[in-house]
Structures are given as structure tokens and as C-alpha cells.
Structure 1
Amino acid sequence: MAPHEELLQKYLDGQCTREEAETLMKWLQSTGSHRALLHSMQQEFERSMHTHAEIPAAISDRIETRLLQDISAGKVVNMRARARRNWMIAASVALLIAAGIYSYRVTRPAGTPPALTAQRTEDVAPGSNKAVLTLANGATVMLDSAGNQVIRQGSTTVLQQNGQLQYDSKPNEGTVGYNTLSVPRGGQFHVVLPDGSKVWLNSASSLKYPTAFTGKERSVVLQGQGYFEVSKNAQQPFLVKVGEMEVQVLGTSFDVMAYSDESSINTTLVEGAVKVAGRVLKPGQQARFDPLTGSFSIRPADVQQVIAWKTGFFEFDNAGLDDIMRQVARWYDIDITYTDKQTDRTYGGRISRSLPLSEILHMLEPNGARFTLEGRKLKVSSTE
């Protein structure tokens, strides 16, 4: 364990002296990246302390992300194996920063500018709740995180509340139509289907579904990525159609990733049971289908890594830079070009999706990548 990590552990254990605490503060301010970390954490705590008696989970997650990436720059961080110790370290820094904000301000010489004013002259905000709902008659409705409205389609009432759609259908009245919920790059959205099943759509995804499930089966069509929590109904199986593949469900939680720029369509089972290509998956398994070759396989999956997007994170384990950048491009709605051959270095760790793009890039740079951002065009080059 590095000396400063040992000090952090001592602080958590209540054994850190005032002098050692001051040493930690000086270390956090010793380089540009540490000062950026400190300033960013200060801003988060200042915003949260007004309304929260305890540190919110979202804030602590962002602290954990920044701390781990800063301490372990250039390394592949196995977040799961080190989860408890890393959380303890992050918690100790949280307490240290919360307690040290006042002294930091007082001791900073008069006229000295803040540690960080802007990491880049240009930046891109993270994605948000937004989508387009196409109704059965072809009309479109723009949806966002702030909107609250009631949409009526014959016997179907759709309630939009913040980042969610809720359907209330009367299947025995009127004609059943089809709606399509389309989420652009830089967006995400949540829909509760007429049968009560819940679907979370990731960026650059769409879901086509009926306004009421009246037949022998409940069938929807997915493009992109979606996380499903399906209401049980053994008499009316739930089907997710993805290109040439079909996922058969009775009642379960699972993730389907079917982006056109990825090499395979992946179905990952969280709980319950699904059938893909005639094979039944068990919880914790992932089915992979290659549309080009027709090959199919089932393997163990890291479920938390697969569904990290739904809980607000990017999570990687020995991932190549191109794999990471495809996810970044979809969430931040940017176009990426590579100016030279990519390195074979891999990345690991957990990064909050609520951070601005510049912070994501800052965390990736120590591993041999250089980024140039112009508007929404990002050029990636190697430093090696």
C-alpha cells in the first residue's frame, strides 16, 4: 500500500494525527490532478451539505471514481476485488475533505486563484433523460427529464413523469396500435409497458411495442440496449426480438445489448430464466450471438459490469480503448476519430456517467492516450 493510502486508512481508523491530516491535504494539492480532485470534491460536498445530513450515494460514487483513478493512474484497477478497501479509502477522503474545506480556504493566500477553473476550454455535458415517442398514428412527442404530460391514444393513456413513461391500457376497448420509444445518443429513458413490465433504454436505442398486449404472447422489438424487468404471466410469454434473434421470457430481469457497431448481440440474465436460440440461461450467464457468422455461445458474465450503465456508471475490466470510446461516444453524443494506431493497453475501473466528458478523458489519458476535443468531434491519438 502506498504511503498516502496508508494515511487514508489511518484516518478512517481514527488514528491520523493533525499533522498527518495536513500531509494528506498537501498531497491532494501537490499536483494539478490532485488539486483538480480536491476542488471537484469540494464542489460536490458544498452542493450536497445544504440538503443532506449524510453523504449521498451518488456523491460518494463520484468521489470513489476520482480517487481511485487518480491513485491508480496508468493501472488496471480491479474494482470488484478491491471494492471494500477502496470504499473505505474513499470514505476517509470524504470525511477529510468535508472537514478540511474551511481550513483550505483560510490558508490559501489572498489573491490565489482556485485550484481548478476549467480543465478544457471546451467540454461536453453527460447524457440525460430524453427520447422521442412515435405514436400509432405517426405523430411524435418529444420527451425529456423535466416534462410531465398526459398523452391519449384511443383507449390508451400514457403518463410522462420526469424520465419515465407509464401506460394505462384497456385492451378490450378500441384498436391496439404500436408505439416506438427512440432514445438518441446522449440520452436514456424508462418505460412501464401496458402489462407492468419495466424497460430502461440506453443511448442510441429504441423499443417498439403495442399499446396493449392482447394476443397469446407479449412481443416487443429492441434496437440498441435495454434492461428488462418483466411481469410474470405464464399464459402470455414475453418475447424480445432483436434482429434475427429472439429472447423468450416468462418473468425475469435481464439485459440485451444489440448495437450495430458491436461484434455480438449479448443477452445477460440477472434473475429468473430466459431462452435464447433454444438454450435456457441461468442467472449470471450471458448468451452471445454473432450476426455475421451465426455463431452462438453461453458464458459466465459479470452482471454488475453489464448493467452498470443502468445504475449510472461505466464499468470496464481489461477493456480496450476502442471498446470504451464506443460507449463514451453514445453517452456524450460525440464523433470519434483515431489519428494513429491504438495501443494494446487495457483499462479497468468504474467511472460515473454523470461526469462531464473532460473528466472522463482526464482519467483515461495516463494510459497512453491523448485527446483533442473540438465541439463534438474527438480526436484520439497515442502518446507512445
Structure 2
Amino acid sequence: MDRQQILYLLELHCEGKLSAVQSRELSALLRDTPEDELLEVLSELTEQQAATPYEITLDALQPAIYRVLQTDKSQEAVTEEAPGSRKTLLRPLLRWSWAAAVLALIAIAGWWWQQQHRKVNTPVVALNDIAPGRSGAVLTLANGQQLVLDSLRQGVIATQQGTTLLLKEGQLAYEGAGAPEGDVAWNVLTTPAGRQFNIVLPDGTRVWLNAASSIRYPAVFNGREREVTVNGEAYFEVAANAQQPFRVNVNDRMKVAVLGTAFNISSYVDDPDIRATLLTGSVRVNDLKAGNTEGVLLQPGQQAQLDNHAALRVAGNVATDQVIAWKNGFFDFNQKSLRQVAGQIGRWYDVEVVYDKNVRDVELYGKISREVKLSDMLKLLETTGLHFRLEGNRRLLVLP
């Protein structure tokens, strides 16, 4: 066993400087090293300090093994947990005792590295912790009336154009055929920061709305098309109807046309791109400003990307599980930049993220439940060498 090389690579890992080649090397070293020798390295590290500053849990360890073992898919897998569950479970590994030793080794190495490199005045998270986001939204009816859905009892909450609006088990549904004629009654469902919500549209299409997002739709889909407008992020499972195509207008910049399929739209104003990711079926995506009516036809696993400076482009072999991790109750930070991760955290915990001028935009890895408190989330992110301070008015400072 090359003990010094393992320690060196672990230090690079904790600094966030581990390259792909070095990550594979570390994975191979850990995999090929006998368990008793791994425990010797673990013992050597623990002798540096008597105890860790906080309890090492499976939730906290998962990003470490996710990063180091990402090149060994046969031995690493993560189950999806239901939102609301506080435990993250790992599927049985072929060598659980080996994996547990690796997890402890990486976690303690990360803590030990921070102790050796920390500044004298290390910023800490303020005591006023912030709970994770939850289900909730505001519904604006056609007459301008606003209903705060997370404060209402279950049952019928309104009627619109002959359609009954039903709130049941944290989901809004439109039931009944509705009036076939008359002025269109437009409804808007909005999720503020720190909230997400599910809705069944009048045609049976299911929509999951992420935090800080909105969808505008009619109470009844009349005419030859079903069109909705989305801002922020939403996941769609469209009810098939070949006679009435489904279309999504995204920020008045992108249009997605579909018959029956599942796809995700992400269009936050603080993100450089508008992204449409296809999971099943097929969709046609158009750039509304380009004047090109043909657009591009996506296949499952592809993503259409559009920004203010380039033409519509398509990326293939997209990690769709990562794209919709938010819908399944997770943050998936694998190969995401600090700015991207901070955007997700800001929207979900309803905090303003502010960066020190000396903070570099590191690449992050890991997967964690969206049900954890902000302090637990920040403990994981601090393994990159960054520090955080939560101030009044929900202001989160990112410090080197």
C-alpha cells in the first residue's frame, strides 16, 4: 500500500483539487488496499486529533463516497428516499466493511485537513438555523383573488369556468369538463422561495413546480392547442392528446411542443441557460427570438440549451436522474459549480447568497436529501475548504 500517496490524494480531494485521473487512482488504491491496512491509515489520522468536531453520519459521508467511487459504478448506488425522510440509504455494497472504512477514512481526512489549514478566525454558521423548504404555493384566480394553498384545508377551494379546484394531499387538481365556451379563465400557480408544489392541470397533465417558479394555464383547455407559460423550473408528465398538442412557453424565449411525454424545464433568471431536458417521448424546441419555426427535435436523454448569446444547441447523454433530482427530494451536486449549487440552496432555503471576492468557483460533488437543515447542508459544503456565515435577514455569506 502506498500510504503517502493515499494521504496526498485525500488532501487534494478535501481541497477540491482532485482531477479525474487522480480520482480514479484514489478509487483504485482504496479498492485494492486490504481492510486492515486501511484501518491503519485511519488510526494514523485519528491520532492527529482525539475527536471530530461533529458527529459523522451517513448523510454527511455520502458525498465523499459518491465522489471518490464515481468511477466504480458496479459498487456504488443510491436509493431514492421519499421527501420527508431524514435518512439517506445506500444499497448493499459488495464489500460493505471496505466501503465503511473508506467512508470513515475520507470523512476524518477531510476534517483533519480543515483543522490543519483553517484560519484563526474561522467563520461559523449562526445559531439561527434555517429549516428546509416545504410544500406550498399561491394560486391566483382569473379574478385576481389569491389563495395561499399551504394554509387551506383539503377539499374544494374554488370553481373556475365550470371546473372544480380540489386540494388534496398537498396537490391541486382541476376536475370536471368545464365550460367549452366563453372567455379564457387564466390561473397562475406560484411557488415562492422555500416552497414547491404539484398540480394536475385540467387535461390531466401532471406538473411539479420547483421553488421560486410559476406556471400560467387556463382553467379549461379549449381550442386546438394546450398552452401554458413557465418561469423557473417545472417537471411535466403530459397527458397524451394527438388532437390537441401541448406547448410550453418558457420566459417568452423558448417554446416546447409535445404530444405526450415527460420532460423538465429550467429557466431561472440567475442561470445563464434555459434548459429543456427530455426523459421520455419526443418534443420539438424552438427559439422564439430566432424566428425559426422548425426548431430542434429532442430524443430521450437530450437537452436543448438556449442563452442570450448563442443559437439553440443540443446536448446528448444528459444525466436525467440528476436533472429531476429536485422532484424526487434530493440535491444532486455532481460536477456542479459552486454558483450553481448556491443558486439551488438560495431558492430552497430562501436565503440571499453573497460571495466574498476571494471565493473561487469550485466544482462540487455529492447527493443529499432536500429535507436537511441549512446547517447540515453547509457542513458538507465546508469539506471543500469554504466557510459560511449566516447573518440576519437570511443572508448567507460564502467565505474562503
Q: Retained in 2: the 8 A contact 1:76–1:318? A: no
- Count of aligned positions: 315
356 and 160 in structure 1: CA distance in 2 versus 1, 3 angstrom threshold: same
Distance in 2 of aligned mates of 1:229 and 1:235 = 17
Superposed, 1:291-302 pairs within 5 Å as 292-300=308-316, 301-302=318-319
Which residue in 1 is equivalent to 2:331?
A: 314
CA gap 1:331/1:6 in 2 versus in 1, 3 angstroms: farther
CA contact (8 A) 2:126 2:389 kept: no
Contact 2:225 2:247 survives alignment (8 Å): yes
1:110-149 to structure 2, matched below 5 A, reads 121-144=127-150, 147-149=153-155
**1:269–1:283 Cα contact (<8 Å) kept:** yes
Of the three residues 295, 298, 301, the one matched with 1:284 is 301
**CA deviation digits over 1:292-317, x for unaligned, max 9?**
22421101211011000000111122
Deviations 1:258-294 (A, max 9, x none): 111100100000000000122110000000011x224
Q: Deviations over 1:355-374 (max 9, x none)?
A: 00001100000112110012
Q: Which residue of 2 aligns with 1:190?
A: 198
Q: Does 1:165 align with 2:185?
A: no
Looking at structure 2, the residues matched to 152 and 337 of structure 1 have their Cα atoms a distance apart, in angstroms, of: 43
Q: TM-score, normalised by structure 2?
A: 0.71
d(CA) in 2 for partners of 1:72 and 1:298?
31
Shift of 1:68: 2.0
Please say if 1:250 is aligned against 2:256: no
**Higher mean displacement: 331-340 or 341-350:** 341-350
Question: What is the match of residue 349 of structure 1?
Answer: 366
CA deviation after TM superposition for structure 1 residue 37, in Å: 3.0
The equivalent residue for 2:211 is: 203
Distance 2:302 2:208 in 1: 20
Task: State the Cα distance separating 1:163 from its structure 2 match.
Answer: 1.8
> Is structure 2 residue 346 aligned with structure 1 residue 326?
no
2:241 to 229, 233, 240: 233
Correspondence for 1:37 among 41, 48, 56: 56
1:156 corresponds to which of 163, 174, 195:
163
**Aligned residue in 2 for 1:107:** none
- Contact 2:194–2:348 (Cα < 8 Å) also in 1: yes
Q: Secondary structure of the residue that 1:311 maps to in structure 2?
A: coil
1:92: Cα distance to partner? Answer: 5.8
Question: Counterpart in 2 of 1:217?
Answer: 225
In the alignment, structure 2 segments of 5+ residues that lack a partner are 1-29, 79-89, 101-123, 287-294
Aligned-pair RMSD on alpha carbons? 3.2
The question of whether the paired residues in 2 share the 8 Å contact of 1:77 and 1:348 is answered with no
Letter paired with 2:247: L
Residues of 2 paired with 1:120 and 1:288: CA distance?
A: 38
Please list the CA deviations of residues 156-192 of structure 1 after superposition, one character each: whole Å capped at 9, or x if unmatched: 1000113210101323456330100000000000000
Matches within 5 A, 1:264-279: 264-277=273-286, 278-279=295-296
Q: Distance in 2 between matches of 1:365 and 1:89?
A: 27
Mapped to 2, the partners of 1:5 and 1:322 lie a distance apart of 39
Cα shift at 1:146:
7.2
**Partner amino acid, structure 1, of 2:132:** P
With 277-286 and 139-148 compared, the bigger mean Cα shift is at 139-148
Deviation beyond 4 Å, 4+ runs, structure 1: 2-7, 89-93
8 Å contact 2:126–2:391 — kept in the other structure?
A: no
- Partner of 1:232, secondary structure, is coil
Question: Which AA in structure 2 matches 1:289?
Answer: L
**Alpha-carbon shift at residue 122 of structure 1 (Å):** 1.8
Distance 1:183 1:304 in 2: 23
Distance 2:31 2:335 in 1: 23
Query: Which AA in structure 2 matches 1:67?
Result: L
- Would you say the 8 A contact 1:76–1:349 is kept in 2? no
Q: Which amino acid is 1:235 matched to?
A: Q
**Paired-residue identity, %:** 40
Q: RCO greater where, 1 or 2, for CA within 8 Å and sep 6 or more?
A: 2
Amino acid at match of 1:298: V
Q: TM-score, normalised by structure 1?
A: 0.74
